[in-house]
Structures are given as structure tokens and as C-alpha cells.
Amino acid sequence: MSACTILSHEALHEFAHVDGKIIQTVKLLVTKPGRLTTEFLAGRRARFISPVRLYLTCSLIFFALAAVAPVDDRPFFRITPGGARGITFNTTEQLREATVEANRAIIHGLPRVMFLLMPVFAFGTWLLYRKARRFYAAHLYYSIHFHAFAFLAMTLMVSLRLAHPYAVPVANLIPATTWAYQYISLRRVFGGSVIQTAWKGTLLNVTYTFVVLAAMVTLGLLSVAQSQAHAAH
């Protein structure tokens, strides 16, 4: 057996092994909210890919799909009549061009923004659950896993919107399933009563949703403002 054949066999074996780990990781992430995090915290990590790799894989799939989706199906930003302070539009075509530019900027910048916001989300869970999980690393694991699931959910949402107009109402329900996932996973990882999970989960969801939306709007408006400034010159 030649050295090339041996190397090819080893590479194929390694790819199949890693691919199997990805499938197993995603399956546990989706079907049992919070269980993947508890497995990692218990030291049972060999069967799964790393949290960072999982996050990068899920986010890459979503942003790749969002980048090729038609403007009307991009779930980020839409310019409406009236504009914003310091930004005005005179025609419908200008509104559409501004929407395209804003979404392009968001798709380009949001992956880095979300990666930077994950530690912020983890800090939020630490503030609420520091008695249950003392060390910040546990909260960071949870944050990465939750964001990975959120990207998978958004990928499904965009896919349904692209598939058929009749699927749009179903796609619009997916953000609510993400919130439900959050409540279940919080209780599984950090414990607490149903009432505690309800108010802590709601506070975390509302606060973090506001932060993410503010980041998206900022990216969109900055891009539009820059485009108008360049056009003026």
C-alpha cells in the first residue's frame, strides 16, 4: 500500500469521524435544549465538536444564506418612508437602494458584532445565575451553544421564506420557538423554579434582543449615512 493511499485513507477516516461528531453535536443541541452545555460542564466532551467550531459553522450557514436571499426576504433591516434623522429619501427607488445597502452592511458586519456580543450575553446569565454556576466559563459555554441554536433557527426561518409564500406564516413563528428553547435550556443548565426561569429568561431575552436590534439598526443607518455622504460628494 502506497504512502498516498494510506494518507488518503486516514484523511477520509478523519473527515467521517469529524462529520459524525458534527451531526451528533447538532442533534443534541436541537433536540435537548441545554443538554449539550451540561455535557461539556460535566467533562463529557470527546463526542462533540468544540463550542466555537459549532458556533462558527452555524453562523456561517446562516449568513451565507442571508447573503444570497432576495432583499425582501432578508430578515434584517428595511427602510420605510420618512427616513431617519439626517437621512432623507425622495423616491421609492432610493428607499429600495438604501434597504439593499443597509442589509449588505449588516450581513458584512453582524458576524463580528454577534461574536463580540456573546460574552455580553454570558455576563447577563452570570448576573442572573451566578449562585447556580459560579464560574463565568459555564455561562460562556451556554452563550455559545444558545447562539449556535439561534443561527440554526434563523437559517430555517429564511429557508422557509424562500421556499414558498405559504410557508411565511410558519417562518414567522420561529423566533417564538427560540424564546421557548431559551427557557427550557436555562432551567436545564442553571436550575431554578418555573417562576424563576420565567422572569429571569424574559428579562434576559428582552434585554439582549434590544441590544442586538440596536446593533443592527446602528450598522444599517451608518451604512446608509455613509452612502449618502459619498453620493453628495
Q: Would you state the pLDDT for residue 6? A: 43
200-215 average pLDDT score: 92
pLDDT grade, residue 227 (50/70/90)?
Answer: low
Over the chain, what HEC string results?
A: CCHHHHHHHHHHHHHHHHHHHHHHHHHHHHHCCCHHHHHHHCCCCCCCCCHHHHHHHHHHHHHHHHHHCCHHHCCCCCCCCCCECCECCCCHHHHHHHHHHHHHHHHHHHHHHHHHHHHHHHHHHHHHHCCCCCCHHHHHHHHHHHHHHHHHHHHHHHHHHHHCHHHHHHHCCHHHHHHHHHHHHHHHHHCCCHHHHHHHHHHHHHHHHHHHHHHHHHHHHHHHHHHHHHHHC
Position with higher pLDDT, 36 vs 106: 36
Q: Would you state the pLDDT for residue 73? A: 55
pLDDT value at 22 more than 80 = yes
Structural domain spans, the chain: 50-232
pLDDT digits (tens, 9 = 90+) for 130-157: 999 999 999 999 999 999 999 999 899 8
Position with higher pLDDT, 66 vs 116: 116
pLDDT digits (tens, 9 = 90+) for 172-207: 888 889 989 999 999 999 999 999 999 999 999 999
Cα–Cα dist 128/227, whole Å: 41
pTM given for the model: 0.78
Position with higher pLDDT, 136 vs 65: 136
Q: Would you state the pLDDT for residue 139? A: 97
Q: Which three cell numbers stand for residue 23?
A: 451531526
pLDDT value at 116 more than 70 = yes
